[in-house]
Amino acid sequence: MPGHLVNGGISGLAQLINYYTQFPIGVMILIGNIPLLLLGWRHLGGKRFAICAAYAVVTVSFFTDILALFLPAQGLSSDRVLNTLYWEVISGIGYGPVYRRHGTSGGTDILVLIINNWRSIPISQSYMITDLLIMFLGGLTYSWQNALYAIIMLFISGIAAEITTDGPNVVRTAIIITTLPGEVSHSIVMDLERGVTAINATGVYTGSARQVICCDNPW
């Protein structure tokens, strides 16, 4: 907040309104989430979903305003890069367990999930639309430099949340359909030093026999 790095969603919109009105950000987060909680109650998970989401919203709203009282007016650092890095890592680690349990922190999370269920629009695209709109308004309010830092901040916090949710290990699998299974398998084993599994398969269109070669972490 002191660094004028706007967040996405309802909390980001609350930051911008606070800049002009000085109205408490936490209170605005709570007010802005009320209609979204009602929508979530109706379209996402009924009473249980709404209660869990409401708990998250109230907690975030409370600690946003309380912690602001104990922070220096200029923030912990005047360095935008440090503010960006620390925010994205801390928030990403915090969001990870929430996403792992299929939870929500409220705000546009609820709207994104509803749109995804209703129109099958990918969640990542929905977040991009809502967050980039807030980033644009943040650029008009603060500065375009701050908006660019905020975009980087949101991108890396997503990576941190993904690592927290799924772990840092990524397994890639190559699936190769070939009429030369022996030559291909030999090259993978000898040149790439990777294990290979061959599976007999039949082409649906041609009806001809093929071998499918599977290789984990081929590069």
pLDDT, tens digit (0-9, with 9 covering 90-100), for 146-196: 888 888 877 777 677 667 666 655 567 888 888 888 888 888 888 877 888
pLDDT of the residue at 142? 86
User: Comparing C-alpha atoms, which of 193, 183, 184 is closest to residue 218?
Assistant: 193
Residue 165 sits at the vertex; the CA angle it makes with 159 and 171, to the nearest 5 degrees, is: 80
Residue 136's identity, in one-letter code, is F
Which residue positions in the chain have pLDDT lower than 70?
Answer: 45, 99-103, 112-113, 116-128, 158, 161-162, 164-171, 217-219
Model pTM?
0.63
d(CA 89, CA 188): 38
The domains of the chain are located at: 9-166, 173-216
Return phi, psi of residue 129, to 5°: -65, -50
Number of neighbouring beta carbons within 10 Å of residue 210? 15
| SS3 call for 97 | helix
Residue 83 sits at the vertex; the CA angle it makes with 77 and 85, to the nearest 5 degrees, is: 140
| Cβ within 8 Å of residue 44, ≥6 positions away | 110, 113, 114, 117
pLDDT of the residue at 126? 63
